[in-house]
Structure 1
């Protein structure tokens, strides 16, 4: 955190914590409940490695975890209202019109079958099919930093169709089964409705085709969305005609079609890969009922790992003339949400939720999102170099 002395950083931390606690006060009808929520936040930000109810209670000076548990359980307050507070708070510092909205999911390993949404399902967090919950998240990534601004618990169909399990986990009656892309699309629609400033969306192959593409085209947002090797592409109106699966198109590319480019800085330096980009078609925004005009280009972006030759494919949508370097940079923004998951789990207890209910999961995750956003805001302000000091020279009389 360059540019800040230690005492300034501590004061920034203290003032930021007071600020976020005051922002969430409106969620609670009683002062004591608001105080417990503030202590919950203190516990998430504390040094304890496990953010369990007992650990948070000990840090708060309570004799037991009941007050901490009540914040996630019986005390009435709206987790979605907190989600909106987190979004608005983060945007006050991180907002940028060129920002990227990154969609991804993470798994929460669980024992038993009672926790809401838990099932044997694949999670990239473990790299296998295992007993877990899946959360879908939207992260706002800009030149100022990054923070989570939305989240949703994925409810598998076996849960959505089981009235008894729904009742025990307090799943709201208006919650129906929704695919992960549908959850992501709802997040994008909420961001648009809230006038969140962003120009791009990036996501992996789980979210790469369908309603998300159409929604973003109509909204005038570019995208770099992962697709499978079997996804088919066709070009029209372009000098180099292509047709077939993404894998076959990549196999037919000449060596000169590839460029070695950086997707951004990683922990070990520039994240270099070989990239190829094929423009497929130029379309007028009016062709898909957009409320604006302009020519946009549909394309196929291909990434090849330098070490092992592993290939990934991305469907792209961008203003005409957008260079490959920009698309590569947008795809590279996906590392931010992976970094966010790791930080939120290791430092803020994202996966330490002990409740089994629908609202307990969303409350816990939303409080972690607030803690993460506060850290992002502090990091941004602490890294902004102060203006250079000017030396005041005494006026010399002649």
Structure 2
């Protein structure tokens, strides 16, 4: 956001925050609760490194954290309504052609046994099995920015099977055990039902393949889904013969099958890897949804590290003729949600949830999502004030996707010149 006069930047922040708070008020029956929620939001956006109840209360001039704690606990309001508000608010600014819905999880380290969903489970946040909560998130990622648009606390099976723990943590009676992939399919279903404009879905191996794949094919959405080295892949219908586990297929590839590409910029510059892409079959979209047309390709994308030649595998589904560069870009967006987790934890209080209940977790996280979305919206609006090149590049991308869409009612069977028609 460099190059924006400080007066203009302050005005942008003030106008945006005032509007967000006004929209937030509509969720609460009593104005005092809405005012407390607005103060909570101020605390999340404030300069304090720790966004605990006492720190937020001090920033708001309160004698203690009780007023803001009531927003998370005793007050009557719907956290899912706030989730939906955040989604719609973020999309007003961040929606763009080629957007990716990224689904991933993050851990919240917890001591004790009373916080809802806590248990000994693996979390990548700590890199080990430890006592924690796991939250599953969906992030909307486009060239305009990133925002969380969905979230759900994962309940281990030993929580759903113990009525006394459920009651103490106020877990809804109608909530049963669901796996993380099932949570992912529910989030995708909600996004589609809400008309979220995304073309792709990217996930880690935790969410894998199977039902998610079929759901996305029926919806006409492309995907790059993490796969295991032991997953079986095979080609058919006029494609070069390929059969075996993903790892064995990768090991048999000729040197010229690999292409060095960047999966996006990281903290140390471009994330360069060697990539290989195998088309396994071309299938008609109408085989999965009679309202769709066009030829789509089932494929296997393989990533190889430059340092240790470590391999990663991805099951893909995309319009026929989609170049490998697009698939690599989609896969690279998974890092965006990792960066978002880190930012939300260090700057927006995502890990400073002091509640123990199901509704408390979802209320706190949804307010953090609102703060994070607001920062993304302000950043994008400031960028459009200062970056003509960004607007020019975005226009090129929109024209490319528009041209692609005109060839078919859904995603088209792209011509052999698709690679050369990418924006430059």
Match of residue 144 from structure 2:
144
2:332 is aligned with 1:343: no
Query: Where does 1:1-398 land on structure 2 (aligned, <5 Å)?
Result: 1-385=1-385
Q: 1:386 offset after TM fit, Å?
A: 5.2
- Answer yes or no: is the 8 Å Cα contact 1:3–1:383 preserved in 2: no
Give unmatched runs, 5+ long, in structure 2: 389-424
TM-score (norm 2): 0.90
Match of residue 392 from structure 1:
none
Distance 1:193 1:134 in 2: 25
Q: 1:276 offset after TM fit, Å?
A: 0.4
Distance 1:304 1:188 in 2: 29
Distance 1:69 1:290 in 2: 50
Residues 105 and 387 of structure 1: CA distance in aligned 2, closer, same or farther (over 3 Å) = closer
Match of residue 419 from structure 2:
none
Distance 1:184 1:75 in 2: 29
Distance 1:64 1:211 in 2: 48
Aligned structure 1 segments of 4 or more residues deviating by more than 6 angstroms: none
Q: 1:311 offset after TM fit, Å?
A: 0.5
TM-score (norm 1): 0.96
- Answer yes or no: is the 8 Å Cα contact 1:218–1:291 preserved in 2: no
Distance 2:347 2:239 in 1: 52
Task: Say which SS state the counterpart of residue 280 (structure 2) adopts.
Answer: strand
Distance 1:68 1:355 in 2: 12
Write out per-residue CA displacement over residues 163-192 of structure 1, whole angstroms, 9 at most, x where no aligned residue.
Answer: 110000000011111100110111110000
Residues 238 and 36 of structure 1: CA distance in aligned 2, closer, same or farther (over 3 Å) = same
Aligned length: 388
- Answer yes or no: is the 8 Å Cα contact 1:120–1:129 preserved in 2: yes
Match of residue 393 from structure 1:
none
- Answer yes or no: is the 8 Å Cα contact 1:205–1:225 preserved in 2: yes
Write out per-residue CA displacement over residues 204-238 of structure 1, whole angstroms, 9 at most, x where no aligned residue.
Answer: 10112111111110110000000110000010023
* Aligned alpha-carbon RMSD (Å): 1.1
Distance 1:357 1:370 in 2: 20
Distance 1:271 1:50 in 2: 31
Distance 2:50 2:33 in 1: 23
- Answer yes or no: is the 8 Å Cα contact 1:169–1:358 preserved in 2: yes
Distance 1:244 1:225 in 2: 18
Q: 1:385 offset after TM fit, Å?
A: 3.1
Distance 2:212 2:220 in 1: 12
- Answer yes or no: is the 8 Å Cα contact 2:100–2:199 preserved in 1: yes
Distance 2:254 2:376 in 1: 43
Distance 2:205 2:267 in 1: 24
Distance 1:182 1:95 in 2: 26
Task: Say which SS state the counterpart of residue 148 (structure 1) adopts.
Answer: strand
Distance 1:385 1:9 in 2: 10
Task: Say which SS state the counterpart of residue 264 (structure 1) adopts.
Answer: strand
Give unmatched runs, 5+ long, in structure 1: 389-398
Distance 2:121 2:386 in 1: 49
Q: 1:288 offset after TM fit, Å?
A: 2.2
Distance 2:62 2:256 in 1: 66
Q: 1:290 offset after TM fit, Å?
A: 4.4
Task: Say which SS state the counterpart of residue 206 (structure 2) adopts.
Answer: helix
Distance 1:57 1:106 in 2: 27
- Answer yes or no: is the 8 Å Cα contact 2:44–2:51 preserved in 1: yes
Task: Say which SS state the counterpart of residue 230 (structure 1) adopts.
Answer: coil
Q: 1:136 offset after TM fit, Å?
A: 0.4
